[in-house]
Amino acid sequence: MELRLDGKVALVTGASRGIGRAVAAAYAEAGARVMLSSRKEDALRTAAASMGGEVDVFAANAGDPDAAAAAVAATVDRFGGLDILVNNAATNPYYGPAVEIDLPRWDKTFQVNLRGLHAWTQAAWRAAMADRGGVVVNVASIGGLSTGAGIGVYNTTKAAVIHLTRVLASELGPGVRVNAVAPGLVKTDMARSLWEEHEAEIARRLPMGRLGEPADIAHAALFLASDLSGWMTGHTLVVDGGALVAAG
């Protein structure tokens, strides 16, 4: 069964590379008109040029509420509305024991990964979804369902994203569905330090025998945005190659 988003307008944060870029491309291929957003306009334009369909770009810092509102307004102005918001942008400026993190980097991680996600959702709700309904897809992580050495603060933000997904689903239904996808280790530039030197070893421990690709997450995000998931809200869809199963 083909998943289609014809007639829909989507806004994807963190869309210049990795998972966000793959999601934006999948949505455009499925017929949506897509606004790509991230901090760097040149990278956004490079990503957009690689996609078919009707796409545009708007540079914005995901942790800045004013930028979020401006990106949402630009999407509505450019495409006539907003039906799907994908909160994908995230940061992880610190690697090490959670107890040792300095507070500025703690604040930065929460500002982008949690506070920013909420601000983008507020902006989408106020500008379009309160009146016409819609879908929000949050990109969480299996780190929000487990623990992982060195990225405990990042994982804590993702645990909060999973809970916030449930909270918003309970508040915004039935007009707006809010779900999340929780990737395992995906071969992105952001996660490169976690997999590049140990890819084969990590893959051997996974039931599916390989690390994730951005397209694996994009396919799940496409399902969550489509009408085929029309009776799903408040759910976090794990896409991890079996990592949580292997961990017991």
Q: Is residue 158 classed as helix, strand or coil in its secondary structure?
A: helix
Is 94 catalytic? The answer is: no
User: How far are the Cα atoms of 169, 174, 177, 206 from residue 166, in angstroms, in the given order?
Assistant: 5, 13, 10, 28
Q: Is 133 left (phi over 0), alpha (psi -120 to 50) or beta?
A: left
Tokens representing 33 are: 């008109």
Q: From the candidates 27, 94, 95, 154, give the one annotated as an active-site residue.
A: 154
Q: Write out the DSSP string of 4-63.
A: --TT-EEEEESTTSHHHHHHHHHHHHTT-EEEEEES-HHHHHHHHHT--SSEEEEE--TT
Which residues are tagged catalytic?
Answer: 154
